[in-house]
Amino acid sequence: MTCAEFVELVTAFLDGALDEATERAFVDHLAECPGCERYLDQFRLTIAELGELPESSLSGETRDRLLEAFRDFPR
């Protein structure tokens, strides 16, 4: 699994929505990649700090900026 693939699967992983083989590949990659480990930790911290925000609480521009920030996160 590449770092880009890992990033695309983080939400599904946290939701417990990955199939067994994909989850195994995800966890294997996590064990070998400190950058992705940091990314996952920061993602979890963001969720813990922000909780669940209703979609209506973010403007379209703010939502787009947040998504872009996570897409460009250094791996």
Interval 10-29: pLDDT, tens:
989 998 999 999 999 999 99
Q: Determine the structural domain holding residue 37 and report its residue range.
A: 3-71
Tell me phi and psi for residue 46, to 5 degrees: -60, -45
The pTM (predicted TM-score) of the whole model is 0.66
Query: Structurally, how many domains does the chain consist of?
Result: 1
Q: Would you call 74 helix, strand, or coil by DSSP?
A: coil
Contacts of 70 (CB under 8 A, 6+ apart): 7, 43
Residue 40's nearest CA partner among 66, 9, 67, 2 is 9
Give residue 46's pLDDT band: very low, low, confident or very high (50, 70, 90): confident
Residue 75 vs residues 8, 9, 30, 38: alpha-carbon distances, Å: 12, 14, 12, 9
Q: Is the pLDDT of residue 31 over 90?
A: yes
